[in-house]
Chain A
Amino acid sequence: MIESTIAATRRQMLALGMLAAAGAIRAETQPKITMLINQSPWFDGFKKMIERYEKDTGNRIELDVTPFGGMLEKTRNSLRASAGTYDLVALNAMWMNEVYSGGFLQALDDIEPGYRLPANVLDFDQSVYWNDAKKSFDPSGRLLGVPVNGNVQVLYFRRDLYKEKGLKEPTTWAELEANAKVLHNPAGGVYGFGIRGDRGSATYDVAPFIYSHGGRIFKDERNGDYTVALSSAASLKGLETYIRLAREYGPPSPWAMSQDKLIQLMATGKVAHAVAVIAIWGALDDPKKSAVVGKFDAALLPRGEPGRHASAAGHWVAGIARNVPTERKRAAMAFLKWFVRQDVQVAYVQAGAVPVISGLGEAQFGKDDRYRFLEALSENSRNSVFYAPVKERVEINDLIGLKVNQALLGELSPKEALNQAAEGIFEIARKAGYKTGRGEIL
């Protein structure tokens, strides 16, 4: 009896020892890596995933959390150095083309041959694949990153006011305008519609209007035709719709409306509709930050007539630096593969962040009212457009932003704004050596 007890204890000790050894091996499977990430409304959710990854795998990830304004410089400094500081960098849609085209990232299938993104991971208008020969996104190009935040625009609307007035969710801009008209009551403290119009945001916010009406910036950049196509009847219709909604149903001075002001107005219940990024959802449903908890809903952005649905991609992609040691590249790859797992993405949403895979809205937890935005997120992600996918994107974004802002101000007519922006884009494309042309002028 005693012998059998001792034997059992020995076996238990042995098993415990083996488990401990396995744990030690697991804890040392990957070297510590460093990631550059931005301080943003979704960061807390991302941080929780890092903590979970460290707990699950024993691997360590050190985060350098940086305000948005400092991200680009830190990214450039690290990627351009002979030895990089960061193994993983979070790239915003605004500058991922510059980083891709500069050759600073290691293609993921170089690190793990044959690796493909799982089918349910959103690629946001193919923006994770880069074709160096075409100088553009291309699904047959190299896979350079994995999305870490699925930020796209959605239509926010006050479901309580919709119920009160018996309104239907709009599917076209004309329907949205009609609903905005019904709810527009500045004397009562509610504006029908809110959208950003300041110089820095105007291009991103006007893009769904232009693309949903059939307009675009270049004729066919994915196939190497950079003829400027911005100045067209379709773009004009889109721009006029944007200006009319912002001016007639929005708060005063829409040309000075920035993200923080729009969030303030939404959170204090002063706008009935808004076109804004999904990343601010958490703030609107947080009782500490919002007076309208549970009152907003999200929907697919309306389409033009004729036209399609379009939402501007404003997502973040994590890329692996070329200028870091191979074992750290492998460690970064291990994290990215873990990150896009379905169970991790569910936990990511529950932690208040924006997921990067589709289909979560149909999952059981997605039926919970707290996650009512998931369906709109998936639909808008499927309809996301990545305007001006070239390395000169920041310059083009600045230029269109200024001209649209001046059109909102009334300094330029919508036609003049599009013509001047198109002329400027042609000069940028010509200087950069693209196969380009002036295209139509209104």
Chain B
Amino acid sequence: MGRACAAMTVLRRNNLLWRWLSLAPLLALLIVFTVVPVAGLVWMSFHDRQWQSGIGVWRFVGLDHWREFTSNLYYWPGLRNTVVFAVCAVSLQMLLGFFMALSVSRAQGWLRGLLTTVFLLPVVVPPIVIGAMWKLLLGTEFGGVNAALALLGVPAIDWLGNPALALPSIILVDVWHWTPFVFILLLAGIEGLPQDALEAARLDTLSAWQSLRHIMLPLMAPTIAITLVFRIILTFKVFDEVYLLTSGGPGTATEVVSFSIQRTFFGRDDVGLGSVMSVFTLFVVALLAVLAIAASRRRRSD
């Protein structure tokens, strides 16, 4: 009995050792590529760097950058716009992406291949091309959209210069660009649903809407949650579309957090303030991701 216990202990110890050994490479990568950079950002947020005779000199400044951050002219309008952008763009993408996935999952033969190819096209276009293309399309004087509207007698619309329209225009471009990403993830989710549950719903003579609401959506909740989290994180990182179409203007109508961070870090070379902005944004995004996952778990347990 005692020998058996000892053997079990050794086995457990070996097992534990093996677990740590197998996790070690991943842990090392996580520490090097995630923990160290974040710790570096936190450290830099309390320091200031000046260049003297070609050498960078760091100085501890305490909470100075954090105080400056509270009244930053760009970040706060940018955060408001980013939240509006994330809510509107992600909602539209989830809705459109789901119905696109549903229609493809029900299509047969060549139509299925054709729809998948067409739906996926925007996501494979490089962002720089998307920016240039939409800038040409949305231009006031020479833009393709206004030229098409002019044929219908509609006067020219200033899509990117009107502060009320600039952000919605960028949201539309983002929806066009990223809905295929949502579509492909949700299509994979739909394809992976247990067919017997859907079959049972059909035999129970549930309507299409009832089947969608009571069977399909609850079963797809994990896929939807992951897609949602992905998209929220990615919308917080939106940069190229804004940079290429409006550069944050007019005024601060299309300022977004990533643009504020980029300008502070790389334009002004203010790594202290840029780090504060980055740490705060990281916190906001992590909070939103946790909330989204918690909501999904609660829905699943319900």
Among B84-92, B158-166, B202-210, B287-295, the stretch that binds chain A is B158-166
How many whole Å from A209's CB to the nearest CB in chain B?
20
Residues of A within 8 A of B55 (CB): 103
B262-296 toward A: CB 8 Å interface, digit per residue (1/0)? 01001111100000000000000000000000000
Cβ–Cβ contact A102 & B249, under 8 A: no
Inter-subunit contact A98/B269 (CB<8 Å): yes
Q: Does B168 contact A (CB under 8 A)?
A: no
Chain A residues positioned under 8 Å from B113 (CB to CB): none
A80 touches B161 (CB 8 A): no
Most buried by A among B52, B73, B160, B269: B269
- Does residue B56 face the partner (Cβ distance < 8 Å to A)? yes
State the CA gap A402–B141 with chains docked (Å).
24
Could you tell me if B250 and A253 are in contact, using CB atoms closer than 8 angstroms? Answer: yes
- Interface hits, A291-324 → B, CB 8 Å: 322-323
A395 at the interface (CB under 8 A from B): yes
Asked whether, in the complex, the Cβ of B268 is within 8 Å of the Cβ of A199, the reply is no
Residues of chain B lying within 8 A (CB to CB) of residue A73: 266
A17 sits at the interface (CB 8 A): no
The answer to whether the Cβ of B248 comes within 8 Å of any Cβ in the partner chain is yes
Contact check, B158 vs A255: say whether CB atoms are below 8 A apart: no
Minimum CB–CB distance for A46 against chain B, Å: 25
Contacts of A76 in B (CB 8 A): 269
Once the chains bind, are B51 and A256 in contact (CB under 8 Å)? no
Chain A nearest CB from B57 CB (Å) reads: 11
- B175-203: CB near A (< 8 Å → 1, else 0) gives 00000000000000000000000000000
In the complex, A424→B249 CA distance in Å? 19
Interface size for chain A: under 10, 10 to 19, 20 to 34, or 35 or more residues? 35 or more
Q: Chain A residues near B268: list those with CB within 8 A.
A: 392, 394-395, 398
Interface 1/0 per residue, B123-159 and A, CB below 8 Å: 0000000000000000111100000000000000010
Give bound CA distance, A347 to B102, whole Å.
66
Interface residues of B in 53-98 (CB under 8 A from A): 53-56, 68, 73-74
Work out how many contacts link A and B, with CB atoms closer than 8 A: 82
Indicate if A361 sits at the interface (CB-CB under 8 A).
no
Q: Does A345 contact B (CB under 8 A)?
A: no
| Secondary structure call for the B interface | loop
Could you say which of A143-151, A158-166, A219-227, A404-412 contacts chain B?
A: A404-412
| Contact A270/B141 with A80-B51, A255-B251, A424-B73 known, Cβ cut-off 8 Å | yes
- Contacting residue for B251 out of A252, A261, A405, CB 8 A: A405
Within 8 A of A (CB), among B227-249: 246-249
Within 8 A of B (CB), among A388-442: 392, 394-395, 398-399, 402, 405-406, 409, 411, 424, 431
A238 to B68, CA, bound (A): 31
A323 to B54, CA, bound (A): 9
Q: How far, in angstroms, from A170 to B251 measured CA to CA in the complex?
A: 32
Instruction: Provide 25 A-B residue pairs closer than 8 Å at the C-beta atoms, listed in order of the A residue.
Output: A76-B269, A80-B56, A102-B51, A102-B52, A102-B54, A103-B51, A198-B249, A198-B250, A252-B140, A253-B161, A255-B250, A256-B158, A256-B246, A256-B249, A264-B142, A270-B141, A395-B268, A398-B267, A402-B73, A402-B74, A402-B252, A405-B249, A409-B250, A411-B251, A431-B68
Known: A252-B140, A261-B139, A402-B74. 18 other contacts (CB 8 A): A76-B269, A80-B51, A80-B56, A102-B52, A103-B55, A104-B51, A198-B247, A199-B248, A200-B247, A251-B141, A253-B250, A255-B251, A256-B161, A322-B54, A394-B267, A402-B251, A402-B252, A411-B251
Closest 6 CB pairs of A and B: A256-B161, A253-B161, A102-B51, A103-B53, A199-B249, A255-B250
Q: List A residues at the B interface (Cβ < 8 Å).
A: 72-73, 76, 79-80, 98, 101-104, 198-200, 251-253, 255-256, 258, 261, 264-265, 270, 322-323, 392, 394-395, 398-399, 402, 405-406, 409, 411, 424, 431
